[in-house]
Chain A
Amino acid sequence: MDGVILEVVDLSVDYMTSVKPSRAVDKVSFDVAAGEFLGIVGESGCGKSTLLFAIGQLLSPPAEVIGGAVRFKGRDMVTLTGRELRAVRWRDFSVVMQSAMNALNPVKTIGAQYEDTMKSHGNHTKAEILARSHEVLALVGIDAVHLKSFPHQLSGGMRQRVMIAMALLFSPALILMDEPTSALDVVAQRSLMVQIKELQQQLGFAIIFVTHDMSLVSHFSDRLAVMYAGAVVELGQTRKVFDDPLHPYTRGLLDAFPSVHGPKVRLEGIPGAPPNLAELPNGCRFNPRCPRVMPQCYLSQPELYEVGGELVKCFLYHSGAGRHA
């Protein structure tokens, strides 16, 4: 892994609702190295997609970045103008959305959509565009005849591959992926994940992969960030997070997955439900559901503490108190 290509520093996003603003992303910081696969996991409403959109500067009102910076290739994306952003988007970083059916234009062929994308980023001849379109489709293993196909003629798995191929048109350094596999069946999902990983190893781009399904990225991501109620509560090497989860929420999430292997054990999940971002509890946001809650958890929010190279936002690890697990 070479240098850092993306730095997110204290990024905060508010949804400006009529009553009072809700903080969907709260002072999130992390960086992404060139060629790295970073997984971001969390439940619905934890702010994971909002964070991804904020990184790509794709938020629309009522969501608004109210603080922090997103440094990508030496520039702060938050302060770029629309014109400057357009030059960077797709050329230097691209996005793969959850629903390819909604992301693709239903009345244009795949080839025409690739052509539009290429044309809006510089002068390319028809032959160049066609050659590049063939190349990227070949990368994802789809026959070039489908350049003449319309989105509805393809299966769900093929549509997502077409989207990924489109994201590769300019060989960007970073691809943001928002649950690209969640609309797919389990076999198609596994096959697409394997392909994404292979493409990454072949072409060397970095990935930020947002998902609600922790187990999905377990074999694919280098590092994993777990989000809860707008904040990153744990960040570390994927394998370490799975083998030895530090935050009680991460542990609870892992214990909520039934397994197809090993002995059958009764699971309990996590009691209660994720909080409403407009009415967050005082202190640690996980305190109403936490099995290891302590008096100080109601008083103030924990910082992100470093424990053996991992980061965890929990008082159990405060001031080198060590693990009480």
Chain B
Amino acid sequence: MPETASPGERRDPVLLETRALTRHFRIGGVVGRKLHAVDGVDLVVNEREIVALVGESGSGKSTVARLLAMVYKPTSGDILLRGRSVKEIRRWHDVLAYRGQVPMVFQDPFSSLNPVHAIGYPLLRGLKLHRPSLSRREREDEAARALEGVGLVPAREMMSKYPHELSGGQRQRVGFAQALSYQPRLVLADEPVSMLDVSIRIGLLNLMARLCEEDGLSFLYITHDIASARYVSHRVLVMYAGQVVESGLTEDVLQHPVHPYTRLLLSAVPDPRAPIAVSSADIGEPPRVIDPGEGCRFRFRCPLAIEICARVTPKLMQSSPGHDAACHVTVGLPPGLES
């Protein structure tokens, strides 16, 4: 578990950054409606940092991961890895190199491994693609080292095992080993523990924290589980309907939430240690992201909504140092609109 750093303490350089990252999907019909999966997301991941991207289904958090992994092309906006725009990447060779730097770990360890191949196969094949300079022998050494790094020992024996011989937790560790073997800078972990049993989730979260502390690796931890985001991340971004509604140091955001959506999410987390707080009439309807138009996308569910929320989309503004939120009511109106 990472130590909580106070603002200004962490001065690690920026590793990856997005600028107004946007992705719309055209959906059928003569009128040509558009689904706004991700709208204007500015995200920064520093070296040696775990950033959590929290949101419910339909919030666009997985689309962000796929954009960062170059699975989707952005509709507009840019992604910069160590200051270099991904738009400059044209050759297949460079795409592979990028994906080796920013690999992805998937949610479902049961469908992301091919059942007819032993564990060694995807590892060695991935190495051949992403680190073509290695010899066959070096690839085997690297694969074994990656498996040891995630606690799958003895590594050589593990490589000849088939997915059905491993538990869910072990399979997910294979996913991490595969990502680690490319010597990445940033691992995109899309709900890596949500399919696992409670008793083994913590082991993987601790692994992420250790890789960050000891090897200086960064993670984008995508999850719907705020409690686990608090446990493992340094900073957190809360997404709603394709937009970031609140961001800041994890402890700041979760102990002093500013956006009404973050407050709603926190109040809904089941916690046996906390007294019951049942008040919300909100039944958790998913957001509308098809042609959403102007205005705050949370206004239909928001207990604080005022007239301007329907007209002007709130932008992320500073609420306290290092803590931003996009809300007209709790943070304030944008310049020029104050009355």
Contacts and interface: CB of A to CB of B under 8 A. Distances in A.
A264 B269 contact: no
A256 B201 contact: yes
A264 B199 contact: no
Contacts of B284: 157, 184-191
B140 interface: no
B198 A260 contact: no
Contacts of A259: 227, 230, 271, 273-274
Interface stretch (B41-49, B260-268, B318-326): B260-268
B224 A218 contact: no
B199 A185 contact: no
A213 B196 CA distance: 12
A269 B202 contact: yes
Given A212-B197, A252-B199, A186 B231 contact: no
A322 interface: no
Given A157-B284, A191-B284, A218-B272, A43 B198 contact: yes
A273 B169 contact: yes
Contacts of B272: 214-215, 218-219, 242, 254, 257
Contacts, number: 140
B303 interface: no
Interface in B238-255: 251, 254
B202 A187 contact: no
B56 interface: yes
Interface string A254-266: 1011111110111
A143 interface: no
B282 interface: yes
B270 interface: yes
A188 B269 contact: no
What is the interface of chain A mostly: helix, strand, loop, or mixed? loop
Contact of A219 (B203, B264, B266, B270): B270
Contact of B271 (A191, A215, A266): A215
B265 A269 contact: no
Contact of A270 (B200, B251, B265, B276): B200
Given A256-B201, A260-B230, 7 more contacts: A186-B269, A190-B280, A191-B283, A216-B270, A218-B271, A219-B278, A266-B1
Interface of B: 1, 4, 56-57, 167-170, 197-203, 205-206, 224-228, 230-231, 251, 254, 264-274, 276, 278, 280, 282-286
Interface of A: 43-44, 141, 155-157, 184-194, 212-216, 218-219, 242, 252-254, 256-262, 264-271, 273-274
7 contacts: A191-B268, A259-B230, A259-B273, A260-B271, A261-B274, A269-B201, A274-B199
